[in-house]
Amino acid sequence: MTMKIMPLVLGAAVALAATAANAGTLDDVKAKGFVQCGVSQGLPGFSNPDDQGNWTGLDVDYCRALAAAIFNDPEKVKFSPLSAKERFTALQSGEIDVLPRNTTWTMSRDTALGLNFVGVNYYDGQGFMVRKSLGVASALELSGANVCTNTGTTTELNVADYFRSKDMPYQIVAFEKADEVVQAYDAGRCDVYTTDASGLYAQRLKLTNPDEHMVLPEIISKEPLGPVVRQGDDEWFNLAKWVHFATINAEELGVTSANVDEMKNSETPSIKRLLGTEGEYGKAIGLDNDWAYNVIKHVGNYGEIFERNVGPSTQLGIARGLNALWSKGGLQYAPPVR
């Protein structure tokens, strides 16, 4: 999801001013006693509050993993719900410490906004959802459609590219907030709802009659989603990266929240390094040596996080697919701890 030209330019200016002022994020986080995480305004499976304000989701678990690594307490997190338009300014200005808000890693964001992408915690792609009653089986049958989506995202640009390349006319109907898009689509103001495919499955749960809608088979873009931090603070960037990598390495090594205590006795060198029983890898990122142990103990490995939030046993029912480990046919791969 990409910002429009004007916000991009303004965002870059804000970033230049904010970068120097926000170095030392880890010290600031330790001093205030919690991680301030920017998340969506409610996307089931990724970052979504219940009626009591308890947040759950794949992105939420990344925030909890950061807190577990720093404080040995996954609850030391505060969440800032942000619209797509608000998210980058919130990070650039220092309002939040990290932005794990199902945000697509693009060149312009990586190079012009004063931001660094930590990695990819979910490989996604843009899709289309329609009412089954429309009788459409393919996106190639959407000529002349009214298309609902979020403003300030890459989805508008992807839709333009797709329809132009297929020589199909269309009309965009854009809203700032995701729930506004859902309501407009549910009310019949548009024929099609487009966003990342995972978002379509998640938002379908909010429709009046979810079973009356279907996601079409076409995926029209690459949407590598991942957490983002400010440029200019390498210590925080390194910590944020390695918390993500630790969850992937743990899955690859068979270390889970259930067996991590037993695994601390393992003689396997890669497990010993990950769990801090060999080497001094915590010091390099400003933490204790059991930082990864705390992440896995409290939050679990990547596979556990995926299954708990978006996997086949959840309402979203998403298969691992591209998000499987590299050793199992997917793209999830982490550098080794050594």
Residue 334 to residue 210: CA distance in whole angstroms: 36
Give CA separation, 291 vs 53, 65, 131, 231, 295, in Å: 27, 10, 47, 23, 6
Residue 114 to residue 124: CA distance in whole angstroms: 24
Backbone angles phi, psi at 198, to 5 degrees: -60, -35
Q: Kindly give the confidence (pLDDT) of every residue in the chain, 338 residues in length, as a single tens digit, with 9 standing for 90 and above.
A: 333 333 444 444 444 444 444 569 999 999 999 999 999 999 999 999 999 999 999 999 999 999 999 999 999 999 999 998 899 999 999 999 999 999 999 999 999 999 999 999 999 999 999 999 999 999 999 999 999 998 877 888 899 999 999 999 999 999 988 889 999 999 999 999 999 999 999 899 999 999 999 999 999 999 999 999 999 999 999 999 999 999 999 999 999 999 999 999 999 999 999 999 999 999 999 999 999 999 999 999 999 999 999 999 998 889 999 999 999 999 999 999 99
Tens digit of each residue's pLDDT (9 = 90 or more) over 190-242 = 999 999 999 999 899 999 999 999 999 999 999 999 999 999 999 999 999 99
Which letter, b or e, does each residue of 270-292 get, where b requires 16 or more Cβ atoms within 10 Å of its Cβ? bbbbbbbbbeebbeebbbebbbb
Q: Which class for 169: exposed (0-12), middle (13-18), buried (19 or more C-beta within 10 A)?
A: exposed
Residue 76 to residue 35: CA distance in whole angstroms: 6
Residue 229 to residue 234: CA distance in whole angstroms: 10
- Cβ atoms of 306 and 248 closer than 8 Å: no
Tens digit of each residue's pLDDT (9 = 90 or more) over 210-220 = 999 999 999 99
Q: Is the dihedral of CA 236, 239, 242, 246 positive or negative?
A: negative
Residue 220 to residue 157: CA distance in whole angstroms: 11
Give the DSSP H/E element, type plus range, for residue 234.
Answer: helix 234-253
Q: Which of 271, 6, 318 is nearest to 152 (CA)?
A: 6
- Cβ atoms of 196 and 124 closer than 8 Å: yes
> Model-level pTM?
0.86
